[in-house]
Amino acid sequence: MGTLFRSQEMALCQFFLQSEAAYCCTAELGEIGAAQFRDLNKDINAFQRKFVNEIRRCDDMERILRFLEKECQKEKVPVLRLGENPMAPMPRELVDLESTLEKLEREIKEVNVNFEALKRSNLELLEMKYVLKKAQQTFELDGMAVLNPESKSDTELLGTGHDATQVHRGVHISFLAGTIPLIKVEAFERLIWRISRGTVLLRTSNIEFPLEDPATGDEILKATFFAFFQGDTLRVKIRKVCEAFRATIYPVPDSPAEIREMSIQVMTRLEDLKTLIGHTQQHRHMVLLASAKNLDLWEIKVQKIEAVYALMNCFNIDTTQRCFIGEAWVPHQDMEAIRLGLLRGSEKAECSVPSFITPIKTAETPPTYHKTNKFTSGFQAIVDAYGVSTYREVNPAPFTVITFPFLFAVMFGDAGHGFIMACLAGLLLWKEKAIMAKRDKGEIATTIFGGRYIIFLMGLFSIYTGLIYNDIFSKSFNIFGSRWYPRTSIYNLTMEADKLAGATFQLDPTPNALLGSDYRYEGRYSIGGPYPFGLDPAWAMSSNKINFINSYKMKMSVIFGVFHMAFGIVLSCFNHTYFKRRVNIICEFIPQMIFLMCMFGYLVILIFYKWTKFDASTSGCSPSLLIGLINMFLMKNEPNPKNQDGTECHMFKFYNSQESLEKALVVVAVLCFPWMLLSKPLYQRWRQGRVAYSTVRAAGSDTESVESGQSRSPTSVPDEGGHGDGHNEGFADVMIYQGIHTIEFCLGIISNTASYLRLWALSLAHSQLSEVLWNMALRKGFMMNNIGGAIVLFTIFAWWACATFGILICMEGMSAFLHALRLHWVEFQNKFYQGTGHAFEPFDFKKTHSTARLDQD
Amino acid sequence: MGALAVVLITFFWLAVGVVGPFVLPKRIHDRGLIRVMLVLTAVCCYMFWLVGYMCQLHPLWGPRFNPKVLVAMRREWE
């Protein structure tokens, strides 16, 4: 348990890195990830630091990489993510990387611009094609009728082909043709009608196929229009309107021959353009494909470079000796690894003068570092969520590994649901590597995946507790033979049916009864004694099951509560021993333990005693433990009533010397209160008096020996600090602190023990919920005995399964999780846990990489 | 009466919780953690079973049944 029992021993070290080797050494430190650096240049602005240029260049490169990634996503080019971990590149590689990235950016931007231009001309040509086609139709079919209804020859109008204007009987008819987005057509028509006062003829027709907008890539519906008018003023007006509506005007000739010629030209140009666009797209794809291969590696490299420079900004620069000085917290265990890393870095930079670290003494509290693996990190996380443990105090996490899933299972208590939970978590464990490689899974999924080991253990323990509660999807198993057998013939089951309806019979377990007991100590497989593993299955079908289960579970909760809290107090003793606060062992640990044991330890013993000493023959006379406890504190000693046959009925006193023992326990418990309250402050006061006396007596030597004796104890011992003051204020503070602590403990013992009753409450709720689900849903599905019943059962099972998963497993699971967590955080940890430390945040490339990814996403 | 169940289960959890930590091979890196886990599991699970066993040693009163259930019990469970 060595690594996880207490946090790691840390030392504050000074790093001396030679200027040439500084970059490489820092990169090596980042790979090892075992040092938490302090910012020695806190008062310097971010823009005045030494490496601000390099960081700016890195930011630039990151911007280019983000741009490339977006382009790859647009082109649907998959980016290779092999999960490789390249080393941080040397500074000279940085320049190469920069130039490569800039070249790539320029190339892709150029290609994009070209592509857009090509697409634009493609669009224009397409529109031209449609306009020409429409023009052909318009002029060939009914152009004659529109333009000149009185003309007889069709060549007159269309024959000249010089100019758009036709001179016929002094009438100049010209036209403009173009395209306009479909949504604007109506407004366009209306406006043209208004400004021309109805003298312009406007013909619009939709283009069947949507056209692609070159800038955005969206599809737009457009329509062609032909505006026929007379005179130049109207032409100017129409042009202005077209500009306003962003309609494009195309020069269309009016002779069919010219139109045909132009159409052919447009077609050929379109074909050329199509091949050109194809080539450009292919080229773009190739460039992106080539860059996608290295994109991941580049990203990681750039992040590492930036992290290294950011850290180097925190170093002090000693220009006279040409070295960088940094300060960091380093775990003792990893000092050797760091020394080797610095050696490697110096070798890489080909620097002859070595870089080294030296530990320095400090009075600051080191950060708390728990070395966890993938199994324990989840449990450490839920402990740290309440508070990071103080430096070198006992860590509750290794114990939480078992007690947390166990207390959850006591509250969850269903083998079937536990099995499903264990299977789901097992699936997560099986596919662990694949899921870890995925990038963004969403917050809930990440949380659940992080707790997969916790959920797996919760499921396994739930199977165990479910088998003991004999509750599998609210049904019971009769494996070993139920001990309840209705033997007595006083149950007159031959009564008429109407008298029997609604009647219930209660079995009588009185041993050696004349007519035979309904409870026998034998079953299947010749295993004698009561039902050997778990609750007897007869209870599952009885109507007074809850009365029995309540008594059982409440007593079980109190027993486990007392054990859990006693364990917490014992852990506080470990803390006192380690921090050499022997006074605390005598003044806090012993009275706390005695107080707990006198009150609730005695209750636990009584619970076990009552289970063994009383049976159904004296069931009317069995003592009520709760009333007995209350009477114990009130020191009320009621005499036992007498039975009918003269024997004593043990309702209040059930063993000899009970009165004197209980009185003694109460007195001892009450005496523990002033013991906890006063002994420590008085002792400290007495010690201060002695120290002051000896200081007055012998100037120098004595105090030094006393003070040095005090400083030999490990760091962060707040209690002993009061020695130095030696004034009345110190004593008052200690008194107040001790008073609060004592009252909190004493009242807390009672309330915390009652708080453990939630183990009973939640398991009752869970079993009732699953029973209701069975009674109201699945049982009804078995009622029909034909084909229809099969279909009904099929549907009802689906509903039952969804409700079981959603309500019983997810909701009840979360609820039990929360309550088990609360029991640990409050009832268990307030016996020993300080939780005032700060977490160790080392300079680690893995962490910068993952946070950078989170920021990006 | 019926000491078989008590003996078996007690010895099983004794093996897990008392013998197990000593038998665990030394080369396992997380040996300390696994020993703590074994002891805690044995204590918790044994206590849980023991409480369930002892509360049924001398039951003070019995379950109450519908007559149909009683008839079914007499027929099926013997």
How far from A407 is each of A157, A450, A471, A484, A573, CA to CA, in Å?
99, 20, 17, 30, 24
* pLDDT at A694 > cutoff 60: yes
How big is the CA angle at A542 (ends A540 and A546), to the nearest 5 degrees? 75
Are B2 and A528 inside 8 Å of each other by CB?
yes
Domain extent listing, chain B: 2-77
Lowest mean pLDDT among A11-25, A168-182, A377-391, A593-607: A168-182
Q: What is residue A703's predicted lDDT score, i.e. its pLDDT?
A: 46
Q: Looking at residues A333-349, what average pLDDT do you find?
A: 89
Chains A, B: CB contacts under 8 A, how many? 186
Strands A219-220 and A222-229, by their bridges, are: unpaired
pLDDT of A499 reads 63
pLDDT of residue A212: 79
**Residue of higher predicted confidence among A500 and B73:** B73
Burial of A34 from C-beta contacts in 10 A (0-12 / 13-18 / 19+): buried
How many other CB atoms sit within 10 Å of the CB of residue A711? 11
pLDDT category, A354, cuts 50, 70, 90?
confident
In contact, A538 and A480? CB cutoff 8 Å: no
Which regions of chain A carry the CATH code 3.30.70.2750?
114-144+172-278
Rounded to the nearest angstrom, the minimum Cα separation between B44 and chain A is 7
Please give the full DSSP string across A678-739, using - where no structure is assigned: HHHHHHHHHHHHHHHHHHHHSTTHHHHHHHHHHHTSPS--TTTTHHHH-SHHHHHHHHHHHH
Q: Are A27 and A85 within 8 A, CB to CB?
A: no
Mean of per-residue pLDDT scores for chain A: 85
3-state SS assignment for residue B65: strand
Confidence (pLDDT) at A447: 92
Mean pLDDT of A731-758: 93
Query: Residue range A216-245: average pLDDT?
Result: 85
**How far apart, in whole angstroms, are the C-alpha atoms of residue A457 and residue A419?**
11
Residues of chain B contacting residue A530, judged by C-beta atoms under 8 Å apart: 2, 53, 56-57
Mean pLDDT to the nearest integer, A562-587: 94
pLDDT, tens digit (0-9, with 9 covering 90-100), for A757-787: 999 999 999 999 999 999 999 999 999 888 9
Backbone angles phi, psi at A446, to 5 degrees: -65, -40
pLDDT score, position B65: 87
Q: What is the pLDDT of residue A708?
A: 43
Which residues from A are below 8 Å from B32, CB to CB? 1-5, 398
Retrieve residue A473's tokens: 């999807």
Q: Tell me the percentage of chain A whose pLDDT exceeds 70.
A: 89
Q: How far is CA A426 from the centre of its chain?
A: 19
Task: Give me the half-sphere count of Cα atoms (radius 13 Å) on the Cβ side of residue A637.
Answer: 10
State whether A616 and B59 contact (CB < 8 Å).
Answer: yes
**What is the token pair recorded at A487?**
């033997």
pLDDT of the residue at A367: 94
For A779-842, the DSSP string reads HHHTS--SHHHHHHHHHHHHHHHHHIIIIIIIIHHHHHHHHHHHIIIIIIGGGT------B---
pLDDT band at A519 (very low <50, low <70, confident <90, very high): confident
**pLDDT band for position A130 (50/70/90)?**
confident
Name the CA radius of gyration of chain B, rounded: 20
Residue A35 backbone dihedrals phi, psi, to 5 degrees: -130, 130
> Looking at the predicted structure, is the pLDDT value of residue A23 above 80?
yes
pLDDT (mean) for A662-675:
94
Residues of chain B with C-beta less than 8 angstroms from the C-beta of A403:
40, 44
Q: Residue A648: what are its φ and ψ, rounded to 5°?
A: -80, 140
What is the reported pLDDT for A156? 42
Res A721 pLDDT > 50: no
Let me know if A686 is exposed, middle or buried by CB neighbors in 10 A (0-12, 13-18, 19+).
Answer: exposed
For residues A605-612, average pLDDT: 94
Q: How far is B53 from chain A (nearest CA, A)?
A: 7
Residue A150's pLDDT is 43
CA angle A510, A515, A519 (to 5 degrees): 40
Strand A10-18 versus strand A323-331 pairing type: antiparallel
**3-class SS at A111?**
helix
Nearest-angstrom CA–CA distance, A500 and A178: 96
Burial A735-758 (b: 16+ CB within 10 A, else e): beebeeebeebbebbeebbebbeb
- pLDDT bucket at A733, cuts 50 / 70 / 90: confident
- How close is the nearest chain A Cα to the Cα of B13, in Å? 13
**Closest to A339 in 3D by CA, of A30, A31, A29, A38:** A29
Q: Which CATH architecture group holds A114-144+172-278?
A: 2-Layer Sandwich (3.30)
Q: Give the Cα separation of A312 and A52 in Å (integer).
A: 10
Report d(CA A144, CA A140) in Å as an integer: 8
- CB spacing of B52 vs A534 below 8 angstroms: yes
pLDDT of residue A54: 87
The position carrying tokens 């260049």 is A57
Question: How confident is residue A207, by pLDDT bands cut at 50, 70 and 90?
Answer: confident
Contact call for A402 and B64, based on CB within 8 A: no
Q: Which residue of B has its CA nearest to A1?
A: B32
Q: Which residues pair with A402 in a beta bridge?
A: none
Could you tell me the two tokens for A485? 């057998």
The conformation of residue A777, written as its DSSP 8-state character, comes to I
A392 vs A549: CA distance, rounded Å: 43
Angle, CA of A20, A25 and A31, to the nearest 5°: 150
- Helix (H) / strand (E) element for A203: namely strand A201-206
Beta carbons of A509 and B59 less than 8 Å apart: yes
Q: How far apart are CA A847 and CA A855, in angstroms?
A: 12
Question: In which band, very low, low, confident or very high, does the pLDDT at A151 lie, cut at 50, 70 and 90?
Answer: very low
Q: Is the pLDDT of residue A699 over 60?
A: no
ipTM for this prediction: 0.97
Mean pLDDT of A239-251: 86
The minimal CB distance from B32 to the residues A2, A469, A548 is found for: A2
Helices then strands, counting H and E runs in chain A, come out as 31, 13
Q: Taking residues A581-594, report their average pLDDT.
A: 92
Rg of chain A over all Cα atoms, to the nearest angstrom: 44
pLDDT one-digit tens code per residue, A641-665: 887 777 788 888 888 888 999 999 9
Is the confidence at residue A512, as pLDDT, over 90? no
**H or E element, residue A434:** helix A432-437
- The rounded distance, in Å, linking the Cα atoms of A421 and A401 is 17
pLDDT attached to residue A717: 40
Question: Closest to A402 (Cβ–Cβ): which among B5, B41, B52?
Answer: B41
List the single best residue of B47, B53, B71, B75 to mutate versus A (max A Cβ within 10 A). B53
**Residue-level pLDDT at A827:** 95
Please indicate whether, in this complex, the C-beta atoms of A398 and B36 are within 8 angstroms of each other: yes
Distance, in Å, from the CA atom of A68 to the CA atom of A62, rounded to the nearest integer, reads 10
